[in-house]
């Protein structure tokens, strides 16, 4: 059945719920999240401290009868739905009955589609969990419900816990199921369950969570060393019981572990499980089949990283609020100054550099947020914004300085995950910038294993009339063989190369000389980056570079400051028009 609340009002919906509740053992409800009102089966009054079918100020009243250890989990899940970050609820928690005894409940609910912005209606049911829900069918181990109950029992006595939680994940179980079938996967889970039960005896209690996850929990004061030994015992038991292979097949499996130890800790189970989840994820990142013990410093950095990721998403959704382009000048190395007093730099272009800030963290360095953009794929959206913004800025500055050129860096991830040529074509069309005044910078190191792709990309960019620069040449392995095939306009020598040219030994200087000569012989210009001092210029001029870039000539600055200090008019008439970017 499909309907929207513009055609069915809340009173009609409550009437339907009232009828359904007469035909069901579960408590069917409708929750108006905006009005904070719940209409639920009248039979719920018999079991819980609920005074009517319609409950006003519902969130607070229901939360009061939720078991204290489950409240943060319950409220967090509900807040996720209220914020429209998720459209359904599927959770288990405990409610106090009229006698104050916690009863395990299963809640299933979904948001009803509505075209009315100020209506958020949740429809679902709450039912009492059966005893068999406490035991996993495949392994025979107690499930997460029992884990929560055991933790709550211990926590309630002292309002704190001491011991450890060791989380176990089966490595690549999904791939095993796909290749050998789910029955083989079930055999593996059963085998690991037996091993967990055996090694935990007298040390901890084993539980089976959803999918491929197990928990070994000790609440009697054991420490991290005990957890580490337990993990090693588990690996050995798995190996000795069948060398890590599923009986009846040649499927080999391993387990990764994450452990967190605690002493007189008043944290709720949810917080401890989050930390255990983090540690086991780190174990998988390090190659699987090993254990990682919780590190608070690394976890704090992880939480900051997660928060930054969310802040970046919000900025992108909010029309790229917080993002800004800065520009660092390029200077003509053949004619550095325009006046005899050497006070007016001959700035011929600029590299556009992304900057980002937010109220919570202030201005961050690109090294902090660009890896997050690349890892999450957000670099695709931000990359398009950079192209449009930089091209539009170039078009405006060309009204003043016709030969001025702007360069834009393309992320390797951006190239891999998007149709970047089409994005560039669109930016060219919208901005109406002259392609000959636009340079695309590519970092050669990203294409070490795929030089042909780099060659095809540079050809496609050149066919659009754009210039192509190879950026950060010399930062690591550089494939000289591909340089002759690339339609590159400029070879940019990395800062470290420039430092060697100005302060290295004779061997370093010879390498710089030959690379510069080679680039010129292949028809490419050479830009030397990282020029910081006046005496560096004299030392570098002997190599006959074509462009300079570095703090000595100008630090990155925003568009307003760059225009004021670096853009020169081609005539007395200044036709520059500021564009809102």
Q: Can you spell out the DSSP letters for 152-179?
A: HHHHHHHSSEEEEEEEEEETTHHHHHHH
Q: Looking at the domain assignment, is residue 575 inside a domain? A: no
Looking at the structure, tell me whether residues 338 and 461 fall in a common domain: yes
Paired with 110 in beta bridges are: 88, 123
Does residue 329 contact residue 562 with C-beta atoms inside 8 Å?
Answer: yes
Determine whether 555 is exposed, middle or buried from the number of CB atoms within 10 Å of its CB (0-12, 13-18, 19+): exposed
Looking at the structure, tell me whether residues 386 and 417 fall in a common domain: yes
Domain end call among 109, 129, 149: 129
Question: Residue 67 is part of a domain; what is its CATH number?
Answer: 3.30.450.20
Looking at residue 205, its pLDDT comes to 95
CA distance 203 to 163: 10
Looking at the structure, tell me whether residues 137 and 284 fall in a common domain: yes
Q: Looking at the domain assignment, is residue 549 inside a domain? A: yes
Looking at residue 577, its pLDDT comes to 43
The side-by-side arrangement of strands in the sheet containing 205-208 is: 205-208, 213-218, 161-170, 255-265, 291-293
Q: Looking at the domain assignment, is residue 573 inside a domain? A: no
Helix, strand or coil, per DSSP, at residue 39 = strand
Q: Looking at the domain assignment, is residue 337 inside a domain? A: yes
Buried b (16+ CB within 10 A) or exposed e, 72-97: ebbeebbeebbeeeeeebeebbbbbe
Q: Looking at the domain assignment, is residue 576 inside a domain? A: no
Looking at residue 200, its pLDDT comes to 95
Number of domains in the chain: 3
CA distance 410 to 383: 7
* Residues 6 or more apart in contact with residue 480 via CB below 8 angstroms: 518
* Residues 6 or more apart in contact with residue 64 via CB below 8 angstroms: none
Does residue 50 contact residue 44 with C-beta atoms inside 8 Å?
Answer: yes
Q: Looking at the domain assignment, is residue 578 inside a domain? A: no
Query: How many other β-carbons are positioned within 10 Å of the β-carbon of residue 162?
Result: 17
Provide the residue range defining the domain that includes 60: 10-129
- Helices 68-82 and 269-285 cross at an angle (nearest 10°) of 70
Question: Residue 494 is part of a domain; what is its CATH number?
Answer: 3.20.20.450
Looking at the structure, tell me whether residues 122 and 242 fall in a common domain: no
Looking at the structure, tell me whether residues 271 and 400 fall in a common domain: no
How far is residue 115 from each of residues 3, 88, 121, measured CA to CA in Å? 10, 17, 11
Q: Measuring CA to CA, which residue among 106, 89, 253, 125 is closest to residue 179?
A: 253
Q: What is the DSSP letter of 113?
A: P
Alpha-carbon 495 to chain mean position = 30
Looking at residue 326, its pLDDT comes to 97
Domain end call among 129, 163, 185: 129
Q: Looking at the domain assignment, is residue 167 inside a domain? A: yes
Looking at the structure, tell me whether residues 289 and 401 fall in a common domain: no
Put simply, whether the predicted model's pTM sits higher than 0.75 gets the answer no
Looking at the structure, tell me whether residues 416 and 471 fall in a common domain: yes
Paired with 355 in beta bridges are: 324
Looking at the structure, tell me whether residues 383 and 508 fall in a common domain: yes
Domain end call among 264, 294, 324: 294
Looking at residue 245, its pLDDT comes to 55
Looking at residue 23, its pLDDT comes to 62
Q: What is the DSSP letter of 435?
A: G
* Residues 6 or more apart in contact with residue 6 via CB below 8 angstroms: 114, 115, 116
User: In a structure prediction context, what are the per-residue pLDDT tens digits for the chain, which is 581 residues long?
Assistant: 444 444 456 666 767 766 665 666 688 888 989 889 988 887 787 778 887 788 999 999 999 999 888 899 899 999 999 988 888 898 888 888 877 777 788 899 988 877 665 678 898 888 877 654 567 767 888 888 889 989 999 998 889 999 999 999 999 888 888 888 888 888 889 889 999 999 999 999 999 997 789 999 999 999 999 999 999 999 999 888 765 455 556 778 899 999 999 999 999 999 999 999 999 999 999 988 999 999 999 999 999 999 999 999 999 999 999 999 999 999 999 999 988 888 889 999 999 999 999 999 999 999 999 999 999 999 999 999 999 999 999 999 999 999 999 999 999 899 999 999 999 999 999 999 999 999 999 886 666 556 678 888 889 999 999 999 988 776 554 556 667 777 789 999 877 777 777 776 787 788 888 889 988 998 999 999 989 988 889 889 999 999 999 999 999 999 999 999 999 876 433 443 444 33
Paired with 293 in beta bridges are: 259
Looking at the structure, tell me whether residues 425 and 480 fall in a common domain: yes
* Residues 6 or more apart in contact with residue 427 via CB below 8 angstroms: 384, 387, 388, 391
Q: Measuring CA to CA, which residue among 360, 376, 262 is closest to residue 316?
A: 376
How far is residue 381 from each of residues 212, 315, 389, 415, 416, measured CA to CA in Å? 35, 11, 12, 12, 13
Looking at the structure, tell me whether residues 437 and 478 fall in a common domain: yes
Looking at the structure, tell me whether residues 159 and 55 fall in a common domain: no
| CA pseudo-torsion sign 47, 51, 53, 54 | negative
Looking at the structure, tell me whether residues 23 and 171 fall in a common domain: no
* Residues 6 or more apart in contact with residue 276 via CB below 8 angstroms: 165, 166, 167, 215, 258, 259, 260, 294
How far is residue 1 from each of residues 114, 326, 392, 547, measured CA to CA in Å? 14, 54, 50, 68
Does residue 195 contact residue 238 with C-beta atoms inside 8 Å?
Answer: yes
Q: Looking at the domain assignment, is residue 2 inside a domain? A: no
How far is residue 499 from each of residues 350, 405, 472, 540, 544, measured CA to CA in Å? 21, 26, 13, 10, 16
Looking at residue 45, its pLDDT comes to 79
CA distance 109 to 194: 35
Looking at residue 6, its pLDDT comes to 47
| CA pseudo-torsion sign 169, 171, 174, 180 | negative
Question: Residue 171 is part of a domain; what is its CATH number?
Answer: 3.30.70.270
CA torsion, ordered 214, 219, 225, 227, to nearest 10 deg: -10
């Amino acid at each position: 059945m499909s309907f929207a609340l513009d055609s069915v009002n809340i009173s009609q919906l409550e009437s339907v719920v009232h009828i359904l509740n007469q035909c069901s053992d579960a408590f069917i409800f409708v929750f108006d999240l905006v009005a904070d009102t719940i209409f639920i089966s009248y039979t719920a009054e018999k079991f819980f401290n609920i005074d009517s079918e319609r409950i006003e100020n519902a969130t607070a009243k229901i939360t009061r009868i939720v078991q204290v250890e489950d409240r943060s989990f319950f409220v967090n899940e509900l807040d996720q739905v209220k914020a429209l970050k998720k459209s359904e609820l599927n959770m288990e928690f405990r409610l106090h009955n009229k006698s104050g005894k916690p009863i395990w409940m299963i809640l299933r609910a979904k948001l009803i589609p509505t075209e009315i912005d100020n209506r958020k209606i949740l429809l679902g049911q709450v039912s009492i969990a059966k005893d068999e829900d406490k035991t996993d069918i495949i392994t025979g181990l107690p499930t997460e419900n029992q884990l929560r109950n055991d933790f709550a029992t211990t926590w309630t006595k002292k309002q704190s816990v001491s011991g450890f939680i060791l989380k176990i994940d089966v490595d690549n179980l999904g791939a095993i199921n796909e290749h050998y079938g789910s029955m083989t996967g079930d055999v593996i889970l059963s085998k690991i369950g037996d091993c967990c039960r055996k090694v935990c005896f007298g040390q901890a209690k084993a539980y089976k969570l959803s999918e491929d996850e197990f928990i070994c929990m000790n609440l009697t004061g054991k420490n991290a060393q005990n957890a580490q030994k337990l993990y090693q015992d588990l690996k050995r038991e798995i190996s000795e019981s069948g060398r890590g292979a599923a009986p009846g097949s040649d499927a080999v499996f391993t387990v990764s572990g994450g452990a967190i130890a605690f002493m007189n800790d008043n944290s709720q189970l949810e917080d401890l499980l989050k930390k255990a989840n983090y540690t086991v994820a780190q174990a998988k990142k390090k190659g699987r089949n090993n254990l990682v013990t919780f590190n608070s410093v690394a976890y704090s950095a992880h939480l900051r990283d997660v928060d930054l990721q969310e802040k970046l998403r919000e900025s992108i959704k909010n029309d790229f609020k917080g993002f800004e382009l800065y520009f660092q000048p390029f200077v003509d190395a053949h004619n550095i100054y325009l006046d005899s007093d050497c006070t007016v730099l001959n700035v011929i272009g600029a590299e556009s550099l992304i900057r980002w800030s937010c109220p919570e963290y202030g201005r961050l360095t690109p090294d902090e947020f660009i890896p997050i953009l690349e890892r999450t794929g957000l670099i695709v959206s931000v990359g398009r914004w950079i192209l449009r913004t930089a091209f539009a800025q170039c078009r405006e500055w060309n009204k003043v300085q016709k030969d001025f050129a702007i360069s834009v860096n393309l992320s390797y991830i951006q190239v891999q995950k998007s149709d970047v040529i089409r994005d560039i074509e669109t930016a060219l069309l919208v901005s109406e910038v002259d392609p000959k005044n636009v340079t695309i910078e590519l970092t050669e190191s990203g294409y070490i294993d795929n030089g042909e792709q780099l060659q095809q990309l540079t050809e496609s960019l050149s066919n659009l009339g754009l210039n192509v620069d190879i950026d950060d040449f010399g930062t690591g392995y550089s494939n000289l063989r591909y340089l002759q095939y690339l339609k590159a306009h400029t070879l940019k020598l990395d800062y470290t190369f420039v430092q060697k040219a100005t302060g290295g030994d004779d061997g370093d200087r010879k390498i710089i000389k030959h690379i510069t000569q080679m680039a010129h012989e292949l028809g490419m210009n050479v830009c030397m980056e990282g020029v910081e001092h006046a005496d560096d210029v004299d030392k570098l001029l002997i190599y006959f570079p074509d462009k300079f870039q570095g703090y000595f000539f100008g630090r990155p600055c925003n568009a307003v400051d760059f225009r004021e200090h670096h853009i020169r008019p081609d005539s007395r008439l200044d036709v520059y028009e500021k564009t809102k970017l």
